[in-house]
Amino acid sequence: MRLWRFVAAALWLASQTAGQPTRALVPQQTSSADGPQQTKAVAAQQASAAPPQTPECALPCRQIALRETKCPPRDLQCICKDPDFAKAMAECVTSRCTIKESLIVKNASSIACGEPIRDYARGFVPLNDAFVILASLFVIQRFAFKIWTKMTLGTDDWMTLAALVLSLPSAVFNSHVLAPNGMGRDAWTLSFDQITTFIRFFSIEEILYFLDIAVSKLALLFFYLRIFSSTSVRRILLASIVFVGLFGVAFVIVAILQCQPVSYAWDKWNGEHQGHCLNIGAMVKSHAIISIALDFWMLAIPLRQLRHVRIDWQHKVGVALMFSVGTFVTIVSILRFRATNFTSHTTNPTRDFFEIGLWSMIEINVGIMCVCLPSLRLLLARLFPLLTSSTQRYYSKQRRTPPGAYVRALLASEKSQNAKAGSALPSQRSLTPDANQIQCEKTFPVTHMDRREEDEQQLITVKMVSSSRGLRPRFS
C-alpha cells in the first residue's frame, strides 16, 4: 500500500508539470544513522534513477483517486500518507499501465515523497565471502589431515569436495553479479536490464543450490556407511543414499524446466513475453520440507544405534553430541524455510528474493562445515591432546592394551580379573587336567590396525560385537 501512496504523489507532481521532465526531489535530511553521506548517496541514486517523464497511462488516475480522499489536491504530505488515495491509485495504475510503466511511476513517487532507497544487502558480500572462505578452509583441513596421517580418502571425502566445488559458482555470482545488479534493493530503483540479469543468475543459483544440498547430504551418508558395519544399518543407509540422489536429480530437473520456454523464468517479470511456469513458491517450499525431514532422518540413524551400545551415559552423551553437530544445518534450513513465503509473480524480485538467497548461501556453507567437523576434531586431538574426547582418554589409560579394538580392552580386563583370582591364562601355564574335570578354552581373534586408522574409528562408537552378554561397542 505504501508503494501506491508514493505513486499518488508522483501523479500530483505530474499534474503540475505535464509534459515537462520530472525533477528528482531529494530530501535535505534523512533519518538514517549514516547522516550526510547517506543523504548524498540517496540523492545520487535517486537522481540517476529518475524517469524523464511520468507515463501518460497514469495521469488520469489522479482525478479518479482524488474522489476517494479528503486531502487537498496540492497537499503533498497528506497525499503521500492517505491510504484511500493510495488504494484508488493502485487499482487504477494496475489496470491502465504495464509493469515497466508502474515501476517508473513508483520510482517518481518515491522521489517526490522523499523516500530513501532501501538497501538490505549492504553486508551481504562480506558475509558471503566469509562463509565461502570458512567452508574452503574446513575442506582443506580435512584433506590435509588425511594426507598427513596417510589415511585412505573415501567416497565421503570426494563428495565433500564436490559440494565445495559446486558452491563456488554461487559464491562468485553472489558477490559479482547479484549484488551489483540490485540484490536487496527495490526493483524500481534499478534499470530493466539489471532486473533481468538478477533473475537469470538467481535461477542458475537455484539449480546449483538443489544440487549442492543433495551432494552434501550424500557426503554425510557415505561417512555413515564407512563407519557402520551392521548389515541392517547399511541397508538403511544405502536406501537413504538412493533416495537423496533421486531427490537431488528430480529437483534439479524441475528447476531447469520450471518454465517453458526456459528463458521465460527471467523474462516473465515484465509481462511482455509469452510462456508458462510451475508454481515456483510451492516447488521451493516442498524442497525445503523434504530437506528438513531428511536432516532429522539422518540424525536419527546414528542416535538409534547408540541405544544398543553398552557404555556409560557420559560416553553416550559425548558421542550423541558429536553426531548432533548436523543439527546446525537443520536449524539453518528451518530459518531458510521461513524465507520461502514469497510469490513467483512478485513485481519486486530483487527485494523479495533477498532473504531466500541469503539463507541458501548460509545453509550450503554450514552444511559443508558440519560434514568436516569430525576430521577437525581429530586434527585438534592430535595437536592438543587435552582436547581428546572422554572415550579416547579412557583408552589412553589402558597403557598395556594394544591399539585397536574395544574387544582387546575387554580381554585385558578379563586377564586382570583372572590374575586377581590367582589363576593364569591358559596360554601362560601348563595344564594337567584332572580326569574328573572338563576343560574349556576360548580363543579370541585379535586384529591390529595402524594407529592412524584407529584414531578415526575411535571417533565413532558405532560398530557392535555380538556376545553372550549382549551388544558391546567395538572401536575398529
Per residue in 175-201, pLDDT (tens digit) is: 999 999 999 999 989 999 999 999 999
Q: Which CATH class is domain 124-387?
A: mainly alpha
- Higher-pLDDT residue of 218, 73: 218
Q: How confident is the model at residue 143 (pLDDT cuts 50, 70, 90)?
A: very high
Cell numbers representing residue 258 in the block: 520450471
pLDDT of residue 67: 80
Residue ranges of the domains in the chain? Answer: 2-112, 124-387, 389-416+445-476
**Mean pLDDT within 403-428:** 44
* Beta strands 276-277; 259-260: pairing state: antiparallel
pLDDT in tens, 341-378: 766 677 789 998 999 999 999 999 999 999 998 888 77
User: Is residue 262 a contact partner of residue 204, using CB atoms and an 8 Å limit?
Assistant: no
**Mean pLDDT within 234-254:** 96
What lies within 8 Å, CB to CB, of 347 at 6+ separation is: 99, 102, 103, 187, 269
The most confident of 146-155, 200-209, 306-315, 325-334, by mean pLDDT? 200-209
pLDDT of residue 144: 92
Sign of torsion over alpha carbons 79, 84, 87, 91: negative
- One DSSP character per residue, 358-382 reads HHHHHHHHHHHHHHHHHHHHHHHHH
| Proportion of the chain above pLDDT 70, given as a percent | 66
| Proportion of the chain above pLDDT 90, given as a percent | 34
Q: Which of 138-147, 173-182, 232-241, 369-378 bottoms out in mean pLDDT, i.e. has the lowest?
A: 369-378
Other residues' Cβ atoms within 10 Å of the Cβ of residue 435: 4
pLDDT of residue 446: 56
Q: How confident is the model at residue 426 (pLDDT cuts 50, 70, 90)?
A: very low
- Higher-pLDDT residue of 440, 274: 274
Residue 25 and residue 115: Cα distance in Å, rounded?
Answer: 10
Kindly state the DSSP code that residue 188 receives in the 8-state scheme. G
Residue 108 and residue 307: Cα distance in Å, rounded?
Answer: 65
Tell me the residue ranges of DSSP E strands in 291-360: none
pLDDT in tens, 22-40: 333 333 333 333 443 443 3
pLDDT of residue 443: 63
| Crossing angle (nearest 10°) for helices 354-383 and 124-148 | 30
pLDDT in tens, 440-465: 666 655 554 444 444 444 444 334 33
Residue 122 and residue 38: Cα distance in Å, rounded?
Answer: 13
In degrees and rounded to multiples of 5, residue 18 shows phi and psi of -60, 130
Find out whether the peptide bond into 261 is cis, omega within 30 degrees of 0: yes
Sign of torsion over alpha carbons 203, 205, 208, 213: negative
pTM over 0.75? The answer is: no
pLDDT of residue 48: 40
Residue 107 has pLDDT above 90, yes or no: no
What lies within 8 Å, CB to CB, of 228 at 6+ separation is: 234, 237, 302, 305, 462, 463
pLDDT of residue 437: 56
The answer to whether 75 is a known ligand-binding residue is yes
**Mean pLDDT within 244-263:** 95
